[in-house]
């Protein structure tokens, strides 16, 4: 229970975004929800792991624009060799953003048509371009770690401490390597962040929506949008930094 199901981001031109992810990352459409006022499309590699996460693109039909904010950092996708992967993207026509050399040779970054940052990381597991983690910035590291471990039973499986910031990686203890994790970034200068609206939410999956919601309420998670208010299809709570967390069923 509580494994990460998808990361949702909002896009201003659905066709352009779909073309970008399908062309450069070989993503295929895994699902679509057409509503009167919006469209949701779920994407991932053809051979994504059963416990892997998907990317949800949300397109609102009213033509609105979005602000990126800085509370969300990036999604990260996997590859075998970061230099080869970056060169492949550059040769295919992706805009040069942060090459491996500028990142110490360990990773690289590109941006999608809406400016969402995408990190490219080397992994020896998972399908190529599958989602490895989603990075979010937090204002109180101890509080945020406590929330994910207490509310969602997440395990802190990796941490990296630097002079002016720290990184904390969490996911369920029994999650396979191919599952997506959440990366909490804490900067030591005490800065605050703006959520913006270009990023939407993280989603976690469960077998029983109502039982999961009762568990969250018993753990004093925020009662934001309960299952009944969402037609018993999903629900939403919020983490300590007001980031929306959706609960969906398998």
User: Which residues form the catalytic set?
Assistant: 119
Of the candidates 214, 188, 201, 198, the one whose C-alpha atom is nearest the C-alpha of residue 1 is: 214
Give 11's contacts (C-beta < 8 A, 6+ positions apart).
17, 57, 58, 59, 113, 114
Q: Are 197 and 243 in contact (CB under 8 A)?
A: no
Radius of gyration of the CA atoms of the chain, in A? 18
The strands making up 165-172's β-sheet, listed across from edge to edge, are 107-111, 117-122, 72-79, 131-137, 181-187, 165-172, 154-161
């Amino acid at each position: 229970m509580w494994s990460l199901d998808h990361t949702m981001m909002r896009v201003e031109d659905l066709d352009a975004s779909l073309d970008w992810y399908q062309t450069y990352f070989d993503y295929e459409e895994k699902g679509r929800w057409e509503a009167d006022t919006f469209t949701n499309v779920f994407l991932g590699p053809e051979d994504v792991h059963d416990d892997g996460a998907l990317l949800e693109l949300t397109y609102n039909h009213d033509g609105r624009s979005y602000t990126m904010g800085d509370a969300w950092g990036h999604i990260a996708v996997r590859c075998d060799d970061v230099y080869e992967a970056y060169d492949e993207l550059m040769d295919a026509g992706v805009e040069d953003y942060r090459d491996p050399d500028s990142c110490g040779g360990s990773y690289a970054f590109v941006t999608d048509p809406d400016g969402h940052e995408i990190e490219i990381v080397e992994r020896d597991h998972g399908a190529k371009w599958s989602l490895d983690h989603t990075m979010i910035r937090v204002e109180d590291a101890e509080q945020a770690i406590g929330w994910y471990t207490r509310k969602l039973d997440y395990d802190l499986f990796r941490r990296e401490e630097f002079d002016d910031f720290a990184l904390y990686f969490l996911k369920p203890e029994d999650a396979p390597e191919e599952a997506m994790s959440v990366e909490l970034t804490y900067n030591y200068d005490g800065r605050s962040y703006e959520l913006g609206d270009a990023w939407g939410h993280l989603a976690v999956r469960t077998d029983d929506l109502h039982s999961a919601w009762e568990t969250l309420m018993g753990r004093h998670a925020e009662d934001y949008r309960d299952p009944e208010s969402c037609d018993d299809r999903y629900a939403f709570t919020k983490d300590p930094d007001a980031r929306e967390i959706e609960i969906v069923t398998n």
